[in-house]
């Protein structure tokens, strides 16, 4: 619940300033589909990574016990394979990015309600993915604890899965929902289809 509500509130706060770009997988998908320029995407990604490192550093400074932990760095469970972890990362990030494109980026923008839809999607992704995945849907969030704690094992999985999931969702939304939608509606409304 906390993850979903926090993301919803942060999306409400940042949507008018940053367009809600808090997740590097979303920024990557937006860049791949030309929703933002490459320069802006790099700027957002740099800010996301820097912010993540600052937050991890603040944890070390403010919570004495944090120095004895991995600061939330993801690690593979013994019963989960690398390929399964990668697939789950792709799926949960795909879901998030598709919802973001459908409610906040594309022509179906639902305005002030989009942060709520995004937060609820993060909530569901976390409920589904935490037991086996650690809910890795943001590559920048994965970077901060490993940089500070030095826990680099299997780190590439937590970048590759979310980035691929975001890219697939962004491209699919652009192709299936933007380019093909008018054609599909024309086919469905045609007299041939009705007869």
* Burial (0-12, 13-18, 19+ Cβ within 10 Å), 169: buried
pLDDT for 134 equals 62
pLDDT for 94 equals 93
Mean pLDDT in runs of 10 for the chain (195 residues)? 86 78 88 90 90 82 76 71 81 91 78 87 84 71 76 78 91 79 52 48
pLDDT for 166 equals 92
> Angle at Cα 128 formed by Cα 59 and Cα 23, nearest 5°?
50
Q: Which CA distances in Å does 175 have to 21, 24, 140, 180?
A: 22, 22, 27, 6
pLDDT for 39 equals 93
* Chain length of the chain: 195
Q: What is the pTM of this model?
A: 0.81
pLDDT for 95 equals 92
């Amino acid at each position: 619940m906390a993850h979903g509500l926090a993301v919803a509130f942060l999306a409400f706060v940042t949507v008018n300033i940053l367009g809600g770009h808090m997740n590097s997988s979303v920024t990557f998908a937006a860049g791949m589909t030309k929703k933002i320029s490459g320069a802006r995407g790099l700027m957002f990604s740099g800010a996301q990574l820097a912010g993540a490192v600052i937050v991890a550093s603040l944890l070390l400074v403010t919570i004495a016990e944090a120095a004895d932990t991995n600061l939330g760095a993801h690690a593979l469970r013994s019963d989960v394979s690398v390929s399964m972890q990668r697939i789950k990362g792709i799926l949960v990030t795909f879901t998030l990015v598709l919802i973001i494109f459908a409610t906040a980026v594309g022509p179906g923008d639902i305005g002030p309600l989009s942060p709520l839809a995004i937060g609820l999607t993060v909530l569901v992704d976390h409920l589904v993915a935490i037991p086996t995945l650690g809910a890795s849907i943001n590559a920048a969030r994965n970077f901060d604890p490993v940089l500070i704690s030095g826990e680099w094992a299997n780190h590439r999985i937590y970048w590759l899965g979310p980035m691929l999931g975001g890219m697939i969702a962004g491209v699919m939304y652009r192709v299936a929902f933007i380019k093909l939608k008018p054609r599909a509606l024309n086919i469905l409304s045609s007299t041939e289809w009705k007869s």
